[in-house]
Amino acid sequence: MGIGGLLLLALGVSMDAFAVSICKGLAMKRATLKAGLTCGLWFGGFQALMPLVGFFLGTLFREAIMAVDHWVAFILLGYIGVNMLRDAFDKEECGGCCEVEADLSPKAMFVMAVATSIDALAVGISLAMTDGVNIFLAVALIGAFTCAMSAMGVKIGNVFGSRFEKKAQFAGGLILVLLGTKILVEGILEQMGRLG
């Protein structure tokens, strides 16, 4: 996967945290720089850590599933993407923000950071099944994108409200589904080339 694919992946994975950060900002009376950085560092840190863990888990089992690795990546990314698309359509008018409080305590942020980064674990597993991936570059991009998007999300939510949350989740889901499809097509073409 080239730099363009990694950038798209980083953008797609960051959208869940972006949507939650919008909700955090919506729940605040005033969004400060400290609040934006707090969300950015928590979400960005966990979104970077989880793909790294997933990558090393996936690497352990890579040999066993080499023949179907592109299918595994497609299914994982497709599943995550479809769930994000479904969530974007299922949310009520409040955008699900009613459930998110402005609390930025370590306990509250830890729970939210883990919840928004579980999907990133599966992304890391799918990266282990993809040839030519620099996992450290991928993790750095995912962490940086998520940190920046989360910090912006707090301000956007505080200023504009919940109207961007659904669009962010929809865009993230679509990106992941398309990326999974691209990996699948490349894998099938590569196998056909080997057979031919």
**Which pLDDT tens digit goes with each residue over 118-169?**
778 888 988 888 878 889 999 999 999 999 999 999 998 888 765 666 777 6
Count the Cβ atoms, other than its own, within 10 Å of residue 181: 14
Is the Cβ–Cβ distance between 130 and 76 less than 8 Å?
Answer: no
Tokens of 169: 């989740």
Angle, in degrees to the nearest 10, between helices 135-160 and 163-195:
160
Is the Cβ–Cβ distance between 178 and 17 less than 8 Å?
Answer: no
- The Cα–Cα gap between 72 and 70 comes to 5
**Which pLDDT tens digit goes with each residue over 87-117?**
777 754 444 554 556 678 898 889 888 888 8
**Which pLDDT tens digit goes with each residue over 27-72?**
787 888 999 999 999 999 999 999 999 999 888 877 676 667 678 7
